[in-house]
Amino acid sequence: MTAQTQRVGVGRTIPGPRSWPLVGHGLSVLRHGIFPVLERSWRRHGDMFRLDLGPKRIVVIIHPDEVERVLISDRDSYYKGASYDFFRVLVGDGMVTNEGETWRARRRVAQPSFNKGVVAALAGKMTAATETMLGAWAAKLEVGAEFDIYEELLALTMWIIGDTLFGLDLRGSIDRSAEAFTVALEQLSVRGNEMVRLPLHWPTPGNRKLRRALATLDETVHAIIRGRRESGERPPDLLSALLAGHDEHGQPLDDRALRDEVITFFLAGHETTALALSWTWFMLATHPEIQAQLFAEVDAVLCGRTPTADDLARMPYTRMVLHEALRLYAPTWSGARDVLRRTELGGHAVEPGEVVMYLPYFTHRHPEFWDAPEQVRPERFTPEAMQTRHKGAYLPFSAGPRMCIGNHFSLMEGALILAMIAQRYRFSLSPRARVEPQFQITMRPKYGVLLRVDARR
Ligand code: HEM
Q: Which atom of ligand 1 is nearest to the CA of 110?
A: 35
Distance 338 CA to ligand 1 centre (A): 19
Cβ contacts of 12 within 8 Å, gap of 6 or more: 347, 348
Q: Which atom of ligand 1 is nearest to the CA of 161?
A: 30
Distance 19 CA to ligand 1 centre (A): 34
> What confidence category does residue 1 fall into, taking pLDDT thresholds of 50, 70 and 90?
very low
User: Is residue 16 a part of any domain in this protein?
Assistant: no
Among the listed residues 17, 13, 11, the one whose alpha carbon sits nearest the alpha carbon of residue 44? 17
Question: How far from 25 is each of 51, 52, 53, 176, CA to CA, in Å?
Answer: 6, 5, 6, 38
Q: Which atom of ligand 1 is nearest to the CA of 264?
A: 35
Vertex 343 angle, CA 339 and 345, to 5° = 90
Which pLDDT value is given to residue 16?
Answer: 81
* Interaxial angle between packed helices 100-110 and 255-285, expressed in degrees from 0 to 180 and rounded to the nearest 10: 70
- Ranking 24-28, 80-84, 144-148, 343-347 by mean pLDDT, the lowest is 24-28
> What confidence category does residue 3 fall into, taking pLDDT thresholds of 50, 70 and 90?
very low
Task: Give the binding-site residues of ligand 1, using a 6 Å CB cut-off.
Answer: 95-96, 107, 264-265, 268-269, 272-273, 276, 331-332, 335, 396-398, 402, 404-406, 409-410
Distance CA 215, CA 430 (A): 37
Which pLDDT value is given to residue 352?
Answer: 96
Reported as a single tens digit per residue, the pLDDT across 188-244 is 766 665 555 556 666 677 788 888 888 888 888 898 899 999 998 999 999 999 999
181, amino acid identity: F
> What confidence category does residue 2 fall into, taking pLDDT thresholds of 50, 70 and 90?
very low
Does residue 78 contact residue 339 with C-beta atoms inside 8 Å?
yes
Distance 403 CA to ligand 1 centre (A): 7
Which pLDDT value is given to residue 175?
Answer: 65
Distance CA 76, CA 107 (A): 17
Q: Which atom of ligand 1 is nearest to the CA of 165?
A: 30
How far does Cα 276 stand from its chain's mean position? 8
Burial class (CB in 10 A: 0-12, 13-18, 19+), 231: exposed
State percent of the chain over pLDDT 90: 74
Which pLDDT value is given to residue 428?
Answer: 96
Among the listed residues 41, 36, 40, 32, the one whose alpha carbon sits nearest the alpha carbon of residue 14? 41
User: Residue 285: is its pLDDT beyond 90?
Assistant: yes
User: Residue 264: is its pLDDT beyond 60?
Assistant: yes
Distance 144 CA to ligand 1 centre (A): 36
- Ranking 83-87, 93-97, 365-369, 390-394 by mean pLDDT, the lowest is 83-87
Residue identifier of the C-alpha nearest atom 29 of ligand 1: 269
Distance CA 192, CA 273 (A): 22
User: Is residue 225 a part of any domain in this protein?
Assistant: yes
What range defines the domain where residue 448 resides? 26-455
Which pLDDT value is given to residue 325?
Answer: 98
State percent of the chain over pLDDT 70: 91
Which pLDDT value is given to residue 6?
Answer: 39
User: Is residue 19 a part of any domain in this protein?
Assistant: no
Distance 265 CA to ligand 1 centre (A): 9
Distance 94 CA to ligand 1 centre (A): 12
Distance CA 175, CA 293 (A): 35
Cβ contacts of 433 within 8 Å, gap of 6 or more: 447, 449, 450, 451
Q: Which of 260, 272, 275 to mutate to test the pocket of ligand 1 (most atoms within 8 A of CB)?
A: 272
Which pLDDT value is given to residue 170?
Answer: 72
Give the pLDDT mean for 281-290: 98
Distance 287 CA to ligand 1 centre (A): 28
Distance 48 CA to ligand 1 centre (A): 25
How far does Cα 155 stand from its chain's mean position? 16
Distance CA 169, CA 456 (A): 30
Vertex 162 angle, CA 211 and 226, to 5° = 65
Distance 406 CA to ligand 1 centre (A): 6
Average pLDDT value for the chain: 90
Distance 411 CA to ligand 1 centre (A): 12
Give the pLDDT mean for 432-451: 94
Reported as a single tens digit per residue, the pLDDT across 101-154 is 999 999 999 999 999 999 999 999 999 999 999 999 999 888 889 999 999 999
Q: Which of 404, 412, 444 to mutate to test the pocket of ligand 1 (most atoms within 8 A of CB)?
A: 404
Residue identifier of the C-alpha nearest atom 17 of ligand 1: 404
Among the listed residues 177, 92, 220, 194, the one whose alpha carbon sits nearest the alpha carbon of residue 204? 194
User: Is residue 4 a part of any domain in this protein?
Assistant: no
> What confidence category does residue 278 fall into, taking pLDDT thresholds of 50, 70 and 90?
very high
The separation between the first and the last C-alpha atoms of the chain, rounded to the nearest angstrom, is 40
Q: Bigger pLDDT: 5 or 164?
A: 164
User: Is residue 20 a part of any domain in this protein?
Assistant: no
User: Is residue 407 a part of any domain in this protein?
Assistant: yes
Question: How far from 266 is each of 220, 235, 246, 348, CA to CA, in Å?
Answer: 11, 18, 20, 39
Q: Which atom of ligand 1 is nearest to the CA of 330?
A: 5
What CATH number did the domain enclosing 244 receive?
1.10.630.10
Domain count, the chain: 1
Residue identifier of the C-alpha nearest atom 7 of ligand 1: 397
User: Residue 419: is its pLDDT beyond 90?
Assistant: yes
- Ranking 165-179, 292-306, 316-330 by mean pLDDT, the lowest is 165-179
Q: Which atom of ligand 1 is nearest to the CA of 332?
A: 10
Which pLDDT value is given to residue 172?
Answer: 62
Does residue 336 contact residue 356 with C-beta atoms inside 8 Å?
yes
Residue identifier of the C-alpha nearest atom 43 of ligand 1: 404
Reported as a single tens digit per residue, the pLDDT across 68-112 is 999 999 999 999 999 999 889 889 999 999 999 999 999 999 999
Reported as a single tens digit per residue, the pLDDT across 147-198 is 999 999 999 999 999 999 999 887 666 667 777 777 777 777 666 655 555 5
Which pLDDT value is given to residue 181?
Answer: 77
Vertex 423 angle, CA 273 and 291, to 5° = 75
According to DSSP, the β-strands at 355-358 and 56-61 are: parallel
> What confidence category does residue 345 fall into, taking pLDDT thresholds of 50, 70 and 90?
very high
User: Is residue 17 a part of any domain in this protein?
Assistant: no
User: Is residue 21 a part of any domain in this protein?
Assistant: no
SS3 assignment for the chain: CCCCCCCCCCCCCCCCCCCECCCECHHHHHHHCHHHHHHHHHHHHCCEEEEEECCEEEEEECCHHHHHHHHHHCHHHEECCHHHHHHHHHHCCCCCCCCHHHHHHHHHHHHHHHCHHHHHCCHHHHHHHHHHHHHHHHHHCCCCCEEEHHHHHHHHHHHHHHHHHHCCCCCCCHHHHHHHHHHHHHHHHHHHHCCCCCCCCCCCHHHHHHHHHHHHHHHHHHHHHHHHHHHCCCCCCHHHHHHHCECCCCCECCHHHHHHHHHHHHHHHHHHHHHHHHHHHHHHHCCHHHHHHHHHHHHHHHCCCCCCCHHHHHCHHHHHHHHHHHHHCCCCCCEEEEECCCEEECCEEECCCCEEEECHHHHCCCCCCCCCCCCCCHHHHCHHHHHHCCHHHCCCCCCHHHCCCCHHHHHHHHHHHHHHHHHHEEEEECCCCCCCEEECCCEEECCCCEEEEEECC
Distance 262 CA to ligand 1 centre (A): 14
